[in-house]
């Protein structure tokens, strides 16, 4: 069963990520797109990092986020990886930006 949202590309499916907002036809959560954007990756570049997405899906997810910030921020916080668990090579790469 799919739960509809007021979005062209964002949906919720109880059997995928417990109903967290995802991009239709994928298992990609909106939070993944938002986290890339927060890292300073331009929306136009996000499909390079998440190649299963189109630019339209990325912009729609960001629009959905802007309308539902508290909810998506909660998912981001709930899924945050503690700094001590991040591999040093990943930390070094993130610090280069």
Per-residue pLDDT tens digits for 51-85: 999 999 999 999 999 999 999 999 999 988 787 88
User: Which residues have a Cβ under 8 Å from the Cβ of 60 and sit 6 or more positions away?
Assistant: 7, 8, 9, 10
CATH of region 10-95: 1.10.10.10
- What are the structural domain ranges in the chain? 10-95
pLDDT at 42: 96
């Amino acid at each position: 069963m799919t739960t509809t949202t007021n979005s062209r590309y964002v949906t919720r499916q109880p059997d995928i990520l417990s109903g967290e907002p995802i991009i239709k036809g994928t298992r990609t959560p909106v939070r993944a797109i938002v986290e890339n954007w927060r890292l300073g990756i331009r929306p136009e570049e996000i499909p390079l990092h998440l190649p299963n997405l189109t630019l339209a899906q990325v912009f729609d997810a960001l629009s959905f986020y802007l309308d539902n910030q508290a909810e998506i921020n909660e998912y981001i916080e709930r899924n945050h990886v503690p700094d001590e668990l991040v591999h040093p090579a990943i930390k070094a790469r993130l610090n280069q930006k």
